[in-house]
């Protein structure tokens, strides 16, 4: 048997034996100040406080911007406009922040994964399963371009109405 696998099985067996004998610690976790700590109190009275281990820890996760409508009135010109997305099909930036497109379940109003917002010269489009896209407009407001946030795939659109 592989030595790594054997080591893992031994560690699991120790955990089971400790739990079986009632020697496992009790713990209380509390979120404070955006972090998490766990306090273990052992049967012999020993108290140990540690930082919580979070799944995926060590990976840097980008804060995802949530579309929330036009927060910068200089971007209000986008409301109720139609665009040719990637020379493919037309999409609509509705005044209420809805994003309509003939794909990714964005065909009808009301899908919370199909929204747009704009602020500080940035346009954020949540395009259903395709995810969040960040774009900027040309000075004449006739073209927008940018990329899908998850993989950098380029996107462009030309105004048609």
- Measure the CA–CA gap between 161 and 151, rounded to whole angstroms: 29
Tokens 């200089």 label which residue?
A: 74
Residues 1 and 8 sit within 8 Å (Cβ to Cβ): no
Token digits of residue 87: 């020379």
pTM assigned to the model: 0.58
User: What confidence tens digit (pLDDT) does each residue in 131-150 have?
Assistant: 999 999 999 999 999 999 99
User: What confidence tens digit (pLDDT) does each residue in 49-97 have?
Assistant: 777 665 554 444 444 444 555 666 788 899 999 999 999 999 999 998 9
């Amino acid at each position: 048997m592989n030595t790594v696998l054997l080591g893992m099985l031994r560690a699991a067996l120790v955990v089971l034996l400790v739990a079986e004998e009632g020697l496992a610690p009790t713990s209380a976790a509390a979120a404070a100040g955006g972090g998490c700590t766990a306090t273990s109190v052992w049967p012999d009275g020993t108290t140990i406080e540690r930082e919580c281990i979070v799944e995926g820890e060590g990976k840097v996760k980008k804060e995802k911007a949530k579309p929330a409508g036009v927060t910068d009135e200089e971007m209000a010109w986008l409301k109720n406009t139609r665009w040719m997305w990637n020379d493919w099909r037309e999409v609509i930036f509705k005044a209420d922040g809805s994003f309509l497109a003939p794909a990714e379940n964005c065909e009808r109003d009301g899908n919370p994964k199909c929204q747009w917002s704009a602020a500080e010269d940035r346009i954020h489009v949540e395009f259903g399963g395709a995810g969040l896209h960040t774009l900027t407009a040309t000075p004449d407001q006739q073209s927008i371009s940018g990329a899908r946030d998850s993989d950098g795939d380029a996107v462009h659109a030309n105004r048609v109405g």
